[in-house]
Every structure is written in structure tokens, then in C-alpha cells.
Amino acid sequence: MTATSTKLVESFYNDVWNKRDFRVAHEIISTDFRFRGSLGPEKRGIDGFLEYVEAVHKALGNYTCIIEDLVCSDDRAAARMIFRGTHQSEFFGVSCTGKDIEWAGAAFFGISHGKLSKLWVLGDLDAVKQQLGAPTVGRF
């Protein structure tokens, strides 16, 4: 039985990101997964992606991804997201502050052969930097 796009995306955030269940990651993510997160460079493959997950969790304790809105078709999905965590190690060049931070984002998935094949995430990095007191780029 092939998982629906909705179930794949929900499991991606609830199981892989929030619970860090990497067994599930190998079940729902294709081996040639292409991931471009708003916090770093493009990663390829499950292992590259899971390194990114670990780095985010190291910097942000209790890191959680919350799906606010989800639109899916058979081969694509888009989610409006809230990301939050407690700043516990260096992040954007800022040493641990212990602050709880939160920011909005959007995720765009490609789905192929019943697995997540690619993901591009956009996040409000200015909101992250402002909450941490990090230098931000000029405003519009």
C-alpha cells in the first residue's frame, strides 16, 4: 500500500523531525532525496538530510515543526509551517541564549514512487536573527 502525500508529509514532520525517528525517514524518503532547507546548503540523500536534522536539534532544543496548512496532490505537497525551539548552542553565530524562538516557513515537496523525493524550505530567517540578537541584513 502506497502512503498518500498527506500522510507522507505529516509523518515527515511528526515522526522524522519532531520525534527524530530515523527508521521512519528511511521508509518515507527516497534514497536520492534532494533537500534545500532555509538554514543551510542543499543536501542529497537521506544521510545528508539527517545530518541537517541533527544539527538543527543540536542548536535548538525541543525543536518542533508544526503544520499550519497542507495542500497535496499525488506528486506534490505544500505546507505552511511554524518552527520553534530553545536556543541551546551556537546558531547564526550567536552563542546559547536559552531563548525560545519561533518563525514561519513554507515547505514544497516532490513525491515519487510513494516516497518524498525532494524538498525546498523557505523560512523567515530575519525573524530568527532578530530573536537571537544576531546581525540582520538591511531591510526593504
pLDDT tens column, 90-122:
998 899 999 999 999 999 999 999 999 999 999
CA distance 51 to 10: 20
The burial class, CB within 10 Å (0-12 / 13-18 / 19+), for 41 is: exposed
Residues of the chain with pLDDT under 70: 1-3, 136-140
CA distance 45 to 58: 20
For residue 40, the model assigns a pLDDT of 74
For residue 129, the model assigns a pLDDT of 92
For residue 3, the model assigns a pLDDT of 60
For residue 140, the model assigns a pLDDT of 44
For residue 138, the model assigns a pLDDT of 53
Cell of 38: 532555509
User: How many CB atoms neighbour CB 50 within 10 A?
Assistant: 19
SS3 breakdown of the chain: % helix, strand, coil, rounded to 5?
A: 30, 45, 25
Which residues are CB-neighbours of 127 under 8 A, at least 6 positions away? 102, 103, 104
Amino acid at 116: L
